[in-house]
Structures are given as structure tokens and as C-alpha cells.
Amino acid sequence: MALSSLAWPGIAGAQQKEETTVLEPITVTATKRVQEAFEVPATVAIVEAQELQDRGIASAGELDRAFVDTNIRSRSNRAYTNVTVRGQSSVDYYEPSVQLYVDGLPQDPSIFSQLLPAGLDSVELLYGPQGTLYGRGAIGGVINVVTRKPDNELRVDTAGALHTQGGDASLLLNTPIIDGVIYGDAALTFRREADQYTLLGSGQEIGGTDDLNGRIRLRYAPDDSPLDVMVSTQRGRVDSTEEQFVMESMFNDRIALPIDSRYRLDTASFGVNASYDLDFATITALTGYQDRKLDRTTLGFQTPEDQTTFSQELRIASDPELGNALDYVVGVYGQRLDFERRTPLIGQVRSRRSIPMQYSETWRGMRRTGSTSRRASGSIMKRQGRVPTAP
């Protein structure tokens, strides 16, 4: 008995040692550099693509099902989406407090209504004000969507779902173009949401939504080269009749009055993401252009609006894996936004042009002995009329 008692701890220790599992570190890029999650000096949540698929989350507007303290709701239609993070809501749709980024490029607020990109890798949410890194608009937080870049692997990814309220599908083709040098991918996503109403009199089914998006990317990243350049272009279209006038007495029967109410949202974007590895730091240049056209008719009144946005960012970020005494990000950001909303029936045109510029730098001690940040920003703005809030 004595010998058995002495041997038992050693056997248990050997078994415990054999069962030890080392987990891979979780990295995030929302801080504009690759860092392990526990090193980020902010509250951050990360959801991997597989978890989103398991939960049936296919659009940016459904991300509140994955992140706590987050609420995403449409205002009359999905083209006008309100995002609230920890109680910080966007009172004005055109000046959202929560910013959306895809692969480092800022997105138009209407993108919240569309499907998540194919080839998704993860979605990161930075809670709280992020003005130093993302400018004056990110007072509520930042949602950063990260996709898998084109690489040297030939693969086809498909996904789809079918249910009583419609369905969605996605297709991604990734292929090397010049082995070890140039890669590319093409993606197509589609969602159909079933009709929700019946028109009074005709009995026609109405209230459905079709969402179609296409994307093409080319990446130049030679093996053993510090240069990595990716060019992307994307087009999207949402056709919907979800906005309908239903009298209270007909609400339970979902019968809508036969008044013209519909919209078409067209978006086009172009982006360049270039980086150069200096060993001790990485220089990154991000160029983005987006064009949004919303042709909306509500209760017979047409109120189309157009918005174009051009953005340019240049920054240098240290490599945190080197373990230097200081970790830093220094960058310059500029944007030009042109907006116009028209009401043809009364001949009214409302427009706005803004050109915000921002310079920011952040320094942080690697041993968390302290941190400092400095930011200087300015804005040149020209307005004509008042920019309306979304109904």
C-alpha cells in the first residue's frame, strides 16, 4: 500500500503532462498592427468566421447576435442602419458613432445593410472611443471585418442556407496567377428575403428584398519580398419593397396600401492596400473610393441621394514581436466626402462637402509601465443647406 501511494502522484503527473494542449494565440488587427489580443490596451471582442457561420450570421446588420452590448437596427429600411455599442447610439445616420472597416478601409454606413464579404476570416469589435486611431467619428467603437487575402492555393469555397423567409448563398474562387508572385480571387454573394405583405385590392405579394454583391481582388506578394499590394473592386445592389404603409386595422393581416414605396441601393468601391516590411516596422498605405446611390420612393415621394467618399491613409507601425521598449503607430489620414440629396417634387437639393484631415501618433511601453498618445486633427468643411437625418 505504501509503495502504491508513492507511485500514484508520479503517474498522475505524467498523464497530466501528456494531456497539456498549447493553444495558438489570438491576434487582432483593429489597432492597425498585428497584436495578440491580451496585449491590446482596449476592450476588444473577436468572432471567427466559423462561429458566425454556425450562428447563421450572414450580414453586417446581424453582428449584434455575436457581440454583447451591441444593437443593430434599421430605421424604416435597412439602408438606414443604426448601430449602438454600450449605449452609444448614432443619433445622425450620416455621422455614425460606430465605424465599419473592411480590411482596413472605411466603409459607407449603408454597408451595414449588406452581406458580409466572402472569404471572411474574422470580425473584431473595439469598444469605446477610438478617436486616436480612427478619427473623430469613432466615439462608440469600431467594427473591423478581416478577410482572407488571395494566396497561392487553388480553392473554391461555397456556402448557403435556405429557410422559410428566403435564403442566401456565396461562392469564392481563389487561384494563383503567377505562382509565388501574383494571386487573385473572385467572390459572389446573394440573399433573398421573402415578401412580407399583401397589397390591398390586387392581392400582390410585396415587401421582399434581393441583395447581390460581387468582388474581384488581385494581390502582388512575391515570396521572400517585403512588399505586399492588394487591389480590390466591388459592386453591390439591393432592391427592396420592405417599406410599406400598413393601417393599424390591417396590421395583423399584413395588408399594405397600394402606394408606391421601394428603393434601390447601388454601391461601388475600389481599394488599394499596400504594405512594406522594414523588419523593425511596417509602412502601410491605404487608398479607398466608394460611390453610393440610393433611389428611394416612399409613399409616392422620390428622395434619391448620392454620396462619394475618397480616403487616403499612410502610417508606420512598429513590430510588437521585437520586444522593444516602445511600441508605436504614427499616421496621416485624409478624406473627401461629397453628398447630395434631392426631392424632385419640390425642386429641393441638399448637399455637403467635407474634407477632414487627421494626424495621429500613439506610443506605448511594451511592459505596460505606461502609455502616452498624441493626436492633432483638423477639418475643412463646406456645406450647402442642412444635411438631413434619416427618417
For the stretch 270-293, pLDDT in tens is 999 999 999 989 999 999 999 999
Enumerate residues 6+ apart whose C-beta is below 8 A from 232: 103, 215, 216, 217, 218, 269, 270, 271, 272, 273
Whether 310 shows a pLDDT value over 70: the answer reads yes
CA 126 vs. chain centroid, Å, equals 12
- Distances in Å between the Cα of 89 and the Cα atoms of 42, 110, 386 are 20, 16, 21
* Least confidently predicted of 4-8, 110-114, 124-128, 184-188: 4-8
Cell of 235: 459592386
pLDDT score for 6: 42
pLDDT score for 255: 92
pLDDT score for 378: 36
What one-character-per-residue DSSP string does 176-211 give?
A: EEETTTEEEEEEEEEEEE---EEETTT--EE--EEE
pLDDT score for 391: 45
* Least confidently predicted of 91-95, 106-110, 201-205, 279-283: 91-95
Quote the pTM value: 0.78
pLDDT in tens, 226-256: 999 999 999 999 999 988 888 888 888 999 9
Distance in angstroms (rounded) separating the CA atoms of residues 307 and 352 = 9
> Which among 64-78, 247-261, 315-329, 375-389 has the top mean pLDDT?
247-261
* Least confidently predicted of 68-77, 306-315, 330-339: 68-77
Q: Which one, of 88, 192, 185, 219, lies nearest residue 143 by Cα?
A: 88
pLDDT in tens, 45-103: 888 988 888 888 888 888 888 888 888 888 778 788 888 888 777 777 777 888 888 88
Which comes out higher in pLDDT, residue 136 or 358? 358
Q: Which one, of 314, 390, 296, 292, lies nearest residue 359 by Cα?
A: 314
Burial class (CB in 10 A: 0-12, 13-18, 19+), 190: middle
* Least confidently predicted of 12-21, 62-71, 193-202: 12-21
pLDDT score for 148: 92
pLDDT, average across residues 248-272: 91
Whether 390 shows a pLDDT value over 50: the answer reads no
Strands 141-147 and 98-102: parallel
pLDDT-derived band of residue 181, with 50, 70 and 90 as boundaries? very high
pLDDT in tens, 19-46: 666 556 556 565 555 656 555 556 788 8
Whether 131 shows a pLDDT value over 90: the answer reads no
Number of alpha carbons in the 13 Å side-chain half-sphere of residue 106:
24
